[in-house]
A and B are shown apart, each in its own frame.
Chain A
Amino acid sequence: MEVGQLQRSFVEYMASLFREGFLDAQFSQLQQLQDDSNPDFVVEVVSLFFEDSERLLNDLTMALDQPNVEFKQVDAHVHQLKGSSSSVGAQRVKNCCVPFRICCEEQNTEACLRCLQQIKQEYLLVKNKLQTLFELEQQIVASGGAIPMVQ
């Protein structure tokens, strides 16, 4: 695919991520922080978000699998996931954390499990979307083009 087409695909894809609510304005803020002195900032932060999220989702799965669920611990994990998803602009993941924390407060294991399922789905979706976005970036750079700025 020629570089102009790749760039157009990138712009449209990025726009769709915002339009469909996968990303919010905070992601644009991260892009502003990427510069010559920190050229891989977005990929590095998002990679850390992936690692952190997978660890937290694993911890949540184990915590909710206990015979006596420690809801304070579950809430602490959800709180952390809310913070990290908010920091990278992963809006849908962040939004899933709100009802999850309410379920923790109500100490409702079944509801928490449903929330966990929902968060896992949203996380996998946004992970897939972001990986596709980064692959598009790599293709543009490999074709000798510049990554378009998307407002």
Chain B
Amino acid sequence: MEGQVSRMVTKGLLTHLGCDVTTVGSRDECLRVVTQEHKVVFMDVSMPGIHCYEVAVVIHERFRKHHGRPLIVALTGNTDRVTKENCMRVGMDGVILKPVSVDKMRSVLSELLEHGVVLES
């Protein structure tokens, strides 16, 4: 979930790296479409009014009794301590700084799929 331009760029980036991508523009839409088929949910936590932290909490709860859940990664324009702490508190699996380069996203995807977590250094 991001602004339109950011969303288009992130979609282009992930598609270029071979991912099958679904984009959404709101919390409600995200919660409506997300399934176990989705390996990773990328969300812009700096968008006001999007309630990204709530989305993470709901995803955890919804998939708690399943054998897996989509990994959740925050995309943010700043990696200050408060943002990171908020993301970790709601159980996000990673925080990465926007804009994301092709090489960086390739490395993030690789880390996520291998270790199930990524943290911005």
Contact = CB atoms under 8 A, between A and B. Distances in A.
Contacts of B44: 83
A38 B4 contact: no
A84 B46 contact: no
A82 B3 CA distance: 11
Classify the interface of chain A: helix, strand, loop or mixed. Answer: helix
Interface string A16-31: 0000000001100110
B98 A86 contact: yes
A33 interface: yes
A48 B3 contact: no
Given A48-B5, A84-B5, A32 B102 contact: yes
Given A29-B102, A38-B15, A87 B48 contact: no
Contact of A44 (B8, B16, B48, B77): B8
Interface size band for A: 20 to 34
Interface string A64-97: 0000000000001001101110111100000000
B99 A87 contact: yes
A45 interface: yes
21 contacts: A29-B102, A30-B9, A30-B12, A33-B9, A35-B16, A38-B12, A38-B15, A44-B8, A45-B8, A48-B5, A48-B8, A76-B48, A82-B77, A83-B6, A83-B46, A83-B47, A83-B77, A84-B3, A84-B6, A87-B6, A87-B98
